[in-house]
Copies of this chain bind each other. A is one copy, B any other.
């Protein structure tokens, strides 16, 4: 601890304050001491636990589904930030099962982590989470906006994502568009649909159709793709905005199997920039979410809530961006 004090240029008493009563020091002093801790490579299981106010040096991240690379990105961003403070991130995969996600959160609580992050995708999860929350430890919601009175949250603007996907298709001359969504209870799907409608309205157009499969997996996409074959052949549909890459991958697969050309006959934009569909013969144009940034911001908020007496909840909204590939190329690009 003397090393830390010397390096930070503060007294031993100040280091002790940072460790035990962080609310009594200024942010600048705390930052100096934390930098010294990081530079000296102190073992997290002694120093950083103290930094977190006597609790564990770990924060938890309960993920919806590790097979979606968005959650891997979130985990990496959170890990990077925690590591820079000498802390660790414990991860748990919910495998898309609500019960398992809630149990993961309970597990973090039992392990006395400094705080937890959980990725959410619908209101039902949100309700279960509020019920499961206990022990007064900080919980930050990721990929979901929550009332600030309850939680900090870091979300991506899904309405904007739906908008830029649709604008891209309109900008390449496609006008007969279909949105393929999913259960309306999934708020990201709902918001992406709203963005789709706003872009169409801005161009003075209306949707050819809005489809709502029971789920947003690849197999659902295959079913939808088969249903769209006749409309595409007849020229009634020339562009598709799908609410997930898994859906888009299934749709493209079904269309190609019927001899339809993507993007010549119909352009397709997915959502997620999901590596799980990387082996598609026609690489997907998609809306990418800033997963690492979401993880970093979430970790910063949860650690702040764990350490700072006067912590104020924040709802952070990040912006998605378009990644253009072959399934919906730029205007003027060769499409066959």
Contact = CB atoms under 8 A, between A and B. Distances in A.
A76 B83 contact: no
Contact of A75 (B45, B66, B99, B325): B66
Contacts of A91: 66, 90-93
Chain B CB within 10 Å, residue with most, of A67, A93, A106: A93
A214 interface: no
A287 to B, nearest CB: 16
Interface string A71-85: 010011001100100
A104 interface: yes
Nearest to A108: B90
A278 B76 CA distance: 19
Given A58-B107, A66-B75, A88-B104, 11 more contacts: A44-B107, A58-B111, A66-B79, A66-B91, A72-B72, A75-B93, A79-B95, A88-B107, A89-B92, A90-B91, A279-B325
Interface of A: 41, 43-45, 56-58, 66-67, 69, 72, 75-76, 79-80, 83, 88-93, 95, 99-100, 103-104, 106-107, 110-111, 275-276, 278-279, 283, 325
